[in-house]
Structure 1
Amino acid sequence: MEALSREQIKAFIDDMLEKTESIGELISVLQRSALSIVIFSENFADSSWCLDEVATISQIMEEFGHRVLPIFYKVDPSDVSEDCGSYAATIKLKYGASNFPEDRKRWMGALKAVANCTGHTSQEIKIDSELVKVIVSDVLKRLVHMSPRVKSDMLIGMDARICEVEKLLALNVNDFRIIGLWGMGGVGKTTLARACYQRFTSSTKGTKRQFVRNIHQTCEKENGMVGIVQELYSALLSEDNISYEDLDVSYRRDRLSRLKLFLVFDDVENFSELEHLLLGDLLNTFNLFALGSRIIVTTRNRRVLENARANIYYVEGLHSQESLQLFGIHAFRQYLPPDDWMRLSAVAISYCKGSPLAIKVLGGTLYCRDKSYWESFLCELQKIPKPEIHDVLRRSYDELGIVEKRLFLDTACFLHRQRKNIVMKYFSIGYQCANYVLEDLIGKSLLICVSSEDYENIEVHDLLREMAWNIVNEELELANRSRLNNVDDIRKILTIRKVKTEGISLDLFKANEMYLEATTFEGMTSLRFLCFVYFAEEHGIRKVHLPSGGLDMLPDSLRWLLWDGFPSKSLPSRFSPENLVLLAIRPSPFIERCWEVQPKLVNLVELHLSDCINLTDVPDLSSSPNLEYLYLRGCKSLIELPSHIQDLNKLITLDLGDCINLRSLPAKLSSKFLEHVYLSNCPMFIRCPEINSRLLHLDLMETPVTVLPGAIFNVKQGSILRLCGKHITSFPAISANLNLFRLCHTIIREMESYDEDHLASSELLLPRFVQLELVDNPQLKSLSMNIWTMVSQTLVLDDCPLIESLPEVSQPVNGSTELQIFKCGNLESFPAGINNLRSLQALYFCATDITSLPACIQELDQLSLLDLSLSKSLELVPSAIHKLAKLSSLYLTGCSMIQSLPELPPNLILLDVSGCKLLQALPSNLGKLRWKYLCFDDCPRLDKNLPEEMVENFPIHATLYLHPRGDLQYSGNEIPDSCVMVRLPLPNSSKQPIKGIAFGVVCSSDVWIDWLDIKCDCNIDTLTAASWSSHGLHLDGTASEDNVYLWYDENLLVETKQRILEEAEIWYVKYAGLTVTFRFYFEAEKEDVKKLKSTKIKRVTGAGGTAKGCRKASATA
């Protein structure tokens, strides 16, 4: 042990284990160890413990390839392993009784297995000290050989991915497998393959291994593939210079079939390369090598793996934290960037979008550069991409055919994140092979197909999209450039009469006012894609202006026309839209009808005219057999739909929500594919059409239909159904399992109940819902006795004033996680047997007439939230509530009869007792809990002296817990004196670094509004360095006293127009050494709503100490 320790080898000796401990502890130790040293001595076989140990080591060695070094000390190896040896004799003599036969067999097998491993004997090295040196030297060599040669940066993000690959490898299964690592260039396929190779080949005894690198690049050279194959199989067969032809000799094939191999074929880009590597024998690949062999193939082309019948693992990019760590290593030579470089680092990794290659290249480029260089480099990065990144990605593009290149550029430049079916249709006009080519581009990792619940989207990685635009911009002459998205370029091209432009995508948010001529599009005969869109929700701003007569024409070649706020009453008459796949004019206050003379829209898949408030006519769609999506939401001037809508046999989605003057629909919708029908807020609409399909989503909210469509009784499993209307008199007999069923504003009186015998005899299917919402049903008196069986997760009962009781939970129910009861004023008690809702996590019983909680509530051991707000008859919270170990949030807002609180649960972090006007006593453990939010607002009888230690040290306690923000509110007019305003310290200049900011305000009691925001700006001279908001503060107009509000925040963030910079550098580090002032103010709909009497700021330090020099700051509303 001492000799091993001197060499920094961590060793574990078996006498550290108590003999009474189970062998399982030994297995755990062995699995964590790289190597076992077994010392066989003269008396070894006398100990059953030693024999059990060696049997366990043998088992781990056989199953997991565990390495063993046997040492024979004063015994001959034959004494250990042979049946006539001294060990066998001792075992037979000592354990010869009939109750040891299985043990004897197991022990002897283990002794033979371990003794046959290569080791050392004291007969060869007679001096003990020399033997120890030899053993230590051997151990060192073995450990070096076993250790993976993987650089530290390669391991970032690898562990989880290696585990997934390990599942596919299934090394404990005795079969042959090919595992494919598939993904775009630079995503880390080779890195992952190398990490797997190093990790798993070190534990696969008797397996030959080879890592064949850069196969595709080598194959492009003359005789490249021949050289790879010859070198590979020469190494595997341990023969020199085997020629390609020699590999067809039968005896060599026989030798290969007995070899157990672990191979990595890196960068295989086509099927013929893999075919050559496997000696052209793909049909018999699974017989080419011995069972137990594994081959890992890395490729950008999924088809290679599918043809090889491989198990495929898709290699995704790094997530944000992994990216930050890898970037830190290359840019700063440490695992994370320093705090004051975090903002710029976040910009860099945002550009990389998880690509390890890009992260490494950018990190290496920025290493040891100053901030001014970083800022200018990152600003120019998208204009001048790094060739090390661009070239790797470009290789995939350069190997495409002409049609593949055109489809890829269109998709990357214009069709990113569009539905797959509409992209297919877009390309099918002009390319008969479009479907095949698109699938091929997906297989080559240039496009990604992302599935959602309703459809599949085509996406393109941001680096590939950037590469696509760089390729397009190589077309130097603007008039000949095929695709445009630059605002200045588009402005110029719209003034040129003859151009070859095929696609224009303009973000109107970035553009200034543009005035087009009637003839602007005359010379654009190749234009297929035209998109004027507000990517940043600024629909109310009109940026593009047309002459009073509108446009003279649009190109007939257009397949995609998306124009937000189209500024004309109709589309031009000189436009034949037969090629249009998508037409979207949303929203436009100008357009009244799409065409004066209705054209044939034979290829149209999506028509989007939402919020065209003056639209009176829907285009003639009778010749649109391919229409799948029809959006007319918010078309307030639309009165009726043409009858031919019923004959759209491929329709999937129909959205007519908020068409407030729509009076009728066709009697029937024939499409068997119809899944989504939105008819909410159509007050003039009284009859729903019959629907032939099985719906996923039907929304009739605020629509007074008198007769429900038969389709609601035939909805698909997992659908969403919302029904609303005073003409609904009974609970619909739905038999499907729905994700959500919402029923509101009905005159239903009761839900029918069924006993088990009735259900069985009538073969009725009980409706089942993941979430059932019964909202504003003023005549509903009772729920079904089967309600707890019908709802699998969430039951919501809101504003049903006649409900007096809930059905008993007679049997244990697993799965129901939320029960939400609101504004049921006559409900006096919890359901009997509520403890049978064993999975309940959130319980809301608000604005009811309950007077107490049942004792059995303590059995809801999964409950994390309990909300009893506005239960004005509730007098007592039971003491057993402290047994709810998982309860973290307790709301007792407005429970005006409660006088005291019992001991609180140990993990409670949020307590709100505001408006508990009779509350006098607080629980004894209040000051001991780790609070995130406490509110004692408007509790006039509560002892003003809250636990002093809790108030004084609120900000200090806040930094000790895991919550980035904390709030405390209570009645009073004084802020604790431990508050200070100081100059921000310089980095590393203080032993007590800032951990956050705590601040408070006192608000006067004269309230004129219920809700407002208290805001704070942190100003460095004229610059707002950070800001904070209370995000809605409830103020009680009936409160008679001032209130104190205390907050803690570990890092106030600046809110930008686009988003909050979540990874921005900490502002009080960035502006170290400068003086900061804090300005408090209100934001509310009314002015002068409330006075801020005083404010204070406290710097919270790492040591939790109280700084000197307190200062009070004034503020006015």
Structure 2
Amino acid sequence: MDSLVGASSFILERLPRKKMLIVVDDVDSSILLDTLVREFRHRLAPGSRIIVTSRNRQVLKGVSDDIYKVQRLNSFESFHLFCLHAFKSDPPAIDDQKMISEVISYAYGNPLALKVLGFSLHSRNKEEWESALKKLKRFSNPDIQDVLRISYEQLDDKGMKDTFLDIACIFDSSFARDYAESILVDNPYVKIDITGLLDKSLIENSEVLKDNELLMNDLIRQMGRQIARDEDEQPGNRCRLCDAKDACYVLENKTGTAAIEVISFNMSEITQNVRVCRSAFSNMCNLRILKVYCDNIGGYGFKVSIPNGLDSYLSNKLRYFRWDLYPSKSLPSKFNPENLVELALRGSHLENLWNYKVQSLSMLRRIDLSYSKFLTQLPDLSRSPNLERLNLEGCTSLVEVLSPIQNLDKLAYLNLNGCTKLKNLKDTSRSTGYLDFILHGGIKNLLKNICQPSLTSQAHIPQKFQVNLTCLILSGTAIEEADPSIGYLPGLVQLDMSYCTRLKSLPTSICNLKSLEMLSLAFCSKLEKLPPLPSTLLHLGLYCCESLKSLSELPSLCFSLSANYCKTLEKISTWRAPLLHNMKIVNFNFFCGHIDFYGCEKLDQNTRNSILVDRAVLKILFRMKFGMTGPNSHDFRYPGDEIPKWFNYQTCGTSIKIMLCPNWNNANFLGLAFCIVLDQNKTDPNISLCIDCKLNFRTMDDDHLHEYHDSRALLERKLEDKIKLRRKSKTLFVHGGIFSNPGSMVMTLFWIHGDDAVLVSNCLVSHAKPFPVIFLELFDGELPSKCKVLRQGRRVFPQQSL
């Protein structure tokens, strides 16, 4: 709508006489909408409504009483709409569900895309389907793109269009908003531009990731990349190169010009070896983004090489420089990285970054040189005062890191995992600076050598050291003990000391880490005991801590704990329930983790039958309380052969027939939980055992019987020869809620609430029809010969459970 011509005086005179519903479609001007509302509102009879549609949320703000975003179709709706147009039947005639799923995933719930793709694939054979899907990965259907492009053309200005195209070309998946803003910092209006793109739904907030995460769906991303390709017939004259074939042509033939600002392509898409010309970048004086990446730095069949190295020129305007498997020994000799925000050269052949003195790196925030196995030293990074992240994982030739990174007060993440040649820096024990005693924790006794001379009193520490480190990864290093000074890092959120096979203990000062949420000590085979842990801890990893004998009081908020194969573990002293008000601040992603004590055969009866049972029930109740009912809900496994009394219905065999009262599916019904006990005397340690659960019920949508399938891995394949599954053991599995073994338990909670969406094969059932009998069957192809279901239990959850 671009005017109020339709609102004639005849219409306006008659508005007060009737209660009316007015629909105004495709409004793109907030001024016109405000005028319309002011003109109509005082004339309408009580009970009247005005519905306005717009592609721009900002147009509606300040005028509307409520804003509703039209949701994309869910999986069930997408499946049926696509089948209706592709097969003219439902269910489909084609038997390859994978190809149908690919189309549905690609369409991302867009009705137009589902219809267009359905029509285009109608009456095609399997080979034609495969060809069409392959083509869609590179070129979108023009009928879809023509409609989507309207939103792009309506963007406010060129700057916002440039921001949209940059995001479409740079990111293949979700991305953090502040991360994108840092890369595109040369645009002074990037913050408001991203907000504008959100308002127009060209990007969106992630529904499942953290609040700061944004994403652009595949259809819109393809539209953006097609716009970039259409800019000029010659790739070297385009502003953005995001197609692997076009980008490699430019790099091999030196056809790039000053027009190029962005190069971004995935090496997995190249179909032959690429030999980059020595002077390929010599004319690209405006290059801002260089991203040559791969999904797995383990390598590909085809490579991007620089046979003669790069000449001295590389654009000084580079903000983002990523080149996975970078093939040269160093960066170009005259490259000035003063404008770099991020440098990522994973799996590179670098021996050193540069052999010259850099005047300033004030913009640099992130460096990732992981798995650069030839890298022997770092340059002086003291002129990078804003560096926040440094990843050196797998740099197996690196011998020193302390000197280059002193006085980096803003460094919050350091990864030294697998840096096996870092030397013991005893001579630096008197150095000052917060990171002196943190960054070398993986070297034998280094924390002690560095910290003790400097830490004269606890009160002096906050004044002397900058406390910014949030993530410290020391996995796989030779540390034997951690000095008490490690407890003076109040900002530390994640501490990973897994695979520290010489580590025997942790200091009691670790309880002072008031921000610590994740602690990983997996495969610390000499660790015998743990001190009291911080009350903030949410995840504790103790996998294969074979010398661990007991756990003192566990934090009440810890709902994710892996203690598999702690063979000598005998007891947990206490594990109290958290206070309800504390639960409101918990990161609920940790609820999705397992609580697993599989293989802990020496646990005492109090731990098995009281502490762990109570914790399993508590986990289920809290997840229901806060609506966390995902597919990996409540896996809990521990040694035991008795079903907890909390499961008020118990039986033997592999199936349960549950009789429910009429009209059971209402707001009072929350879900079902099942508990299974298996006798594993015949279990083969070389196989993985899964239990499939089939839930039969009817829905209001039709009169057909539907099946809900779910599965859980009850036994894992052995990871190493030293891990042997005991033959004579009973396992209690609580599936959907808890897991164990003949000595272990597994509970599972199935959610079929009337308001929930439950995936049933290829159908999404959103409304369950009153059906008094639910049939649960547990089955596995090898179950009869490998183990035996001894008994099982279930419990129905009413609203009053909370």
> TM-score of the superposition, structure 2-length normalised?
0.66
Could you tell me which of 535, 539, 542 is aligned with 1:767?
Answer: 535
Q: What residue in structure 2 maps to residue 636 of structure 1?
A: 396
| Preserved CA contact (<8 Å) 2:440 2:447 | no
Deviation (angstroms), 1:412: 0.8
CA–CA separation in structure 1 for the residues paired with 2:488 and 2:707: 50
- Measured at CA, do residues 837 and 261 of structure 1 come closer, stay the same or move farther in structure 2, by a change above 3 Å? farther
Q: What residue in structure 2 maps to residue 355 of structure 1?
A: 110
What amino acid does structure 2 have at the position aligned with 1:332? F
Q: What residue in structure 1 maps to residue 238 of structure 2?
A: 481
CA–CA separation in structure 1 for the residues paired with 2:103 and 2:604: 59
2:431 is equivalent to residue 660 of structure 1: no
| Preserved CA contact (<8 Å) 2:324 2:346 | yes
2:312 is equivalent to residue 552 of structure 1: yes
Deviation (angstroms), 1:394: 1.1
CA–CA separation in structure 1 for the residues paired with 2:152 and 2:647: 63
Q: What residue in structure 2 maps to residue 333 of structure 1?
A: 88
| Preserved CA contact (<8 Å) 1:1010 1:1035 | no
Q: 1:185-200 maps to which residues of 2 (within 5 A)? A: none
CA–CA separation in structure 2 for the residues paired with 1:931 and 1:488: 46
2:493 is equivalent to residue 734 of structure 1: no
Please give the secondary structure, in 2, of the residue aligned with 1:630: strand
Q: What residue in structure 2 maps to residue 469 of structure 1?
A: 225
1:932-971 deviation line (CA, Å, top 9, x unaligned):
59xxxxxxxxxxxxxxxxxxxxxxxxx99966899999xx
Q: What residue in structure 1 maps to residue 768 of structure 2?
A: none
Could you tell me which of 195, 201, 212 is aligned with 1:439?
Answer: 195
> Which structure is richer in relative contact order (CA contacts within 8 A, separation 6 or more)?
2
| Preserved CA contact (<8 Å) 1:625 1:649 | yes
What amino acid does structure 2 have at the position aligned with 1:709? S
- Measured at CA, do residues 889 and 813 of structure 1 come closer, stay the same or move farther in structure 2, by a change above 3 Å? farther
Please give the secondary structure, in 2, of the residue aligned with 1:269: coil
Q: 1:781-796 maps to which residues of 2 (within 5 A)? A: 783-784=551-552, 787=553, 790=556, 792-793=558-559
Could you tell me which of 587, 593, 605 is aligned with 1:829?
Answer: 605
- Measured at CA, do residues 231 and 712 of structure 1 come closer, stay the same or move farther in structure 2, by a change above 3 Å? farther
Q: What residue in structure 2 maps to residue 399 of structure 1?
A: 154
CA–CA separation in structure 1 for the residues paired with 2:118 and 2:344: 43
2:16 is equivalent to residue 237 of structure 1: yes
CA–CA separation in structure 2 for the residues paired with 1:581 and 1:811: 45
Deviation (angstroms), 1:731: 6.7
- Measured at CA, do residues 545 and 912 of structure 1 come closer, stay the same or move farther in structure 2, by a change above 3 Å? same
- Measured at CA, do residues 392 and 833 of structure 1 come closer, stay the same or move farther in structure 2, by a change above 3 Å? closer
Deviation (angstroms), 1:235: 5.7
CA–CA separation in structure 1 for the residues paired with 2:712 and 2:405: 56
CA–CA separation in structure 1 for the residues paired with 2:683 and 2:117: 58
What amino acid does structure 1 have at the position aligned with 2:245? D
CA–CA separation in structure 1 for the residues paired with 2:38 and 2:518: 57
Please give the secondary structure, in 1, of the residue aligned with 2:5: helix
- Measured at CA, do residues 642 and 866 of structure 1 come closer, stay the same or move farther in structure 2, by a change above 3 Å? closer
Q: What residue in structure 2 maps to residue 504 of structure 1?
A: 263
| Preserved CA contact (<8 Å) 1:885 1:907 | no
- Measured at CA, do residues 436 and 866 of structure 1 come closer, stay the same or move farther in structure 2, by a change above 3 Å? closer
CA–CA separation in structure 2 for the residues paired with 1:686 and 1:614: 26
| Preserved CA contact (<8 Å) 1:657 1:679 | no
| Preserved CA contact (<8 Å) 1:425 1:581 | yes
Could you tell me which of 8, 25, 34 is aligned with 1:266?
Answer: 25
- Measured at CA, do residues 309 and 637 of structure 1 come closer, stay the same or move farther in structure 2, by a change above 3 Å? farther
Could you tell me which of 195, 211, 215 is aligned with 1:459?
Answer: 215
Q: What residue in structure 1 maps to residue 447 of structure 2?
A: 686
Q: What residue in structure 2 maps to residue 707 of structure 1?
A: 483
2:367 is equivalent to residue 607 of structure 1: yes
Q: How many residues are treated as equivalent by the alignment?
A: 641
Q: What residue in structure 1 maps to residue 344 of structure 2?
A: 584
1:652-705 deviation line (CA, Å, top 9, x unaligned):
32222222233459956669xx9xx88785557435777643665444444335
Could you tell me which of 612, 627, 632 is aligned with 2:387?
Answer: 627
Q: What residue in structure 2 maps to residue 1027 of structure 1?
A: none
Q: What residue in structure 2 maps to residue 448 of structure 1?
A: 204
1:373-411 deviation line (CA, Å, top 9, x unaligned):
655555545666444322221112122322222221111
Q: What residue in structure 2 maps to residue 914 of structure 1?
A: 681
Q: Percent identity?
A: 28
More off after superposition, 609-618 vs 815-824: 815-824
CA–CA separation in structure 1 for the residues paired with 2:329 and 2:312: 13
Q: 1:852-1001 maps to which residues of 2 (within 5 A)? A: 867-868=638-639, 885=649, 911-915=678-682
Deviation (angstroms), 1:745: 5.9
CA–CA separation in structure 2 for the residues paired with 1:425 and 1:810: 43
Give me the CA root mean square deviation.
Answer: 5.1
Please give the secondary structure, in 1, of the residue aligned with 2:184: helix
1:487-546 deviation line (CA, Å, top 9, x unaligned):
332233221355232222232223221222322221222322222211355436671222
What amino acid does structure 2 have at the position aligned with 1:487? A
Please give the secondary structure, in 2, of the residue aligned with 1:300: coil
CA–CA separation in structure 2 for the residues paired with 1:522 and 1:809: 64
CA–CA separation in structure 2 for the residues paired with 1:747 and 1:344: 49
1:20-65 deviation line (CA, Å, top 9, x unaligned):
xxxxxxxxxxxxxxxxxxxxxxxxxxxxxxxxxxxxxxxxxxxxxx
- Measured at CA, do residues 236 and 709 of structure 1 come closer, stay the same or move farther in structure 2, by a change above 3 Å? farther
Deviation (angstroms), 1:288: 8.2
- Measured at CA, do residues 697 and 800 of structure 1 come closer, stay the same or move farther in structure 2, by a change above 3 Å? same
Q: What residue in structure 2 maps to residue 409 of structure 1?
A: 165
CA–CA separation in structure 1 for the residues paired with 2:7 and 2:214: 37
| Preserved CA contact (<8 Å) 1:657 1:682 | no
1:419-476 deviation line (CA, Å, top 9, x unaligned):
32232233332x3223222322222222234488777344322111211222222222
Q: 1:500-539 maps to which residues of 2 (within 5 A)? A: 500-511=259-270, 512-539=272-299
| Preserved CA contact (<8 Å) 2:322 2:345 | yes
What amino acid does structure 1 have at the position aligned with 2:485? P
CA–CA separation in structure 2 for the residues paired with 1:397 and 1:705: 58
Please give the secondary structure, in 2, of the residue aligned with 1:838: helix
| Preserved CA contact (<8 Å) 1:269 1:300 | yes
What amino acid does structure 1 have at the position aligned with 2:181? M
Q: What residue in structure 2 maps to residue 279 of structure 1?
A: 38
What amino acid does structure 2 have at the position aligned with 1:913? Q
| Preserved CA contact (<8 Å) 2:486 2:510 | no
Unaligned runs of 5+ in 2: 452-460, 584-590, 620-632, 655-672, 685-689, 694-704, 729-759, 763-802
CA–CA separation in structure 1 for the residues paired with 2:179 and 2:490: 28
1:612-636 deviation line (CA, Å, top 9, x unaligned):
1222232333333443322222222
Deviation (angstroms), 1:609: 0.9
What amino acid does structure 2 have at the position aligned with 1:274? L
Q: What residue in structure 2 maps to residue 647 of structure 1?
A: 407
Deviation (angstroms), 1:276: 2.1
CA–CA separation in structure 2 for the residues paired with 1:225 and 1:317: 31
What amino acid does structure 2 have at the position aligned with 1:354? G
- Measured at CA, do residues 478 and 234 of structure 1 come closer, stay the same or move farther in structure 2, by a change above 3 Å? farther
What amino acid does structure 2 have at the position aligned with 1:299? S
CA–CA separation in structure 2 for the residues paired with 1:339 and 1:678: 57
CA–CA separation in structure 2 for the residues paired with 1:273 and 1:863: 52
CA–CA separation in structure 2 for the residues paired with 1:598 and 1:235: 76
CA–CA separation in structure 2 for the residues paired with 1:278 and 1:679: 65
- Measured at CA, do residues 547 and 398 of structure 1 come closer, stay the same or move farther in structure 2, by a change above 3 Å? same
What amino acid does structure 1 have at the position aligned with 2:37? L
